[in-house]
Amino acid sequence: MNHVKIKVMDRRTFLIGAGVSAATLAGLSTIASATPEEAAAFIAKITGGKKPTEGGMKLEMPEIAENGATVPVKVSADTPQTDKDYCKSITIIATKNPYPRLCAFHFTPRSGKAFASIRVRMATTQEVMAVAEMSDGSFRIARTTVKVTIGGCGG
Partner 1 sequence: MGKARVKVPKTAKAGDIITIKTLIKHKMESGNRKDKKTGKKIPRHIIDKFTAKYNGEVFFSSDWEGGVSANPYCAFTCRVDKSGDFEFTWHDEKGEVTTAKASITVS
Q: Confirm if 99 and 114 have CB atoms less than 8 A apart.
A: no
In the complex, the smallest distance separating the C-beta of residue 5 from partner 1, rounded to whole angstroms, is: 33
Compute CA 17 distance to the chain's CA centroid, rounded to the nearest angstrom: 34
Residue 150 within binding range of partner 1, rule CB under 8 A: no
Please state, in angstroms and rounded to a whole number, the distance separating the CA atoms of residues 22 and 14: 12
Q: Is 119 in the site for partner 1 (CB under 8 A)?
A: yes
Q: Which of 47, 95, 97, 126 binds partner 1 (CB under 8 A)?
A: 97
Interface characters, 7-46, with partner 1 (x: CB under 8 A): -----------------------xx---------------
Which residue from 79, 155, 151 is spatially nearest to 113, judged by alpha carbons?
Answer: 79
Minimal distance in Å, beta carbon 1 to partner 1?
29
23 in helix, strand or coil? helix
Q: Which is nearer to partner 1, 12 or 110 (CB)?
A: 110
Name the amino acid, one letter, at 65.
A
The answer for 10, left when phi > 0, alpha when psi is -120 to 50, beta otherwise, is beta
- Cβ closest to partner 1, residue 21 vs residue 117: 117
Rounded Cα distance between 59 and 15, Å, is: 47
Q: Which listed residue (20, 41, 118, 150) binds partner 1 by CB under 8 A?
A: 118
Per CB under 8 A, which region of 18-26, 44-52, 97-105, 137-145 contacts partner 1?
97-105
**CA 4, CA 26: separation in Å to the nearest integer?**
25
Counting contacts by CB under 8 A, is residue 98 touching partner 1? yes
Contact between 127 and 36 (Cβ < 8 Å): yes
State the residues that interact with partner 1 by CB under 8 A: 30-31, 69-71, 81, 94, 97-99, 101-113, 115-121, 152-155
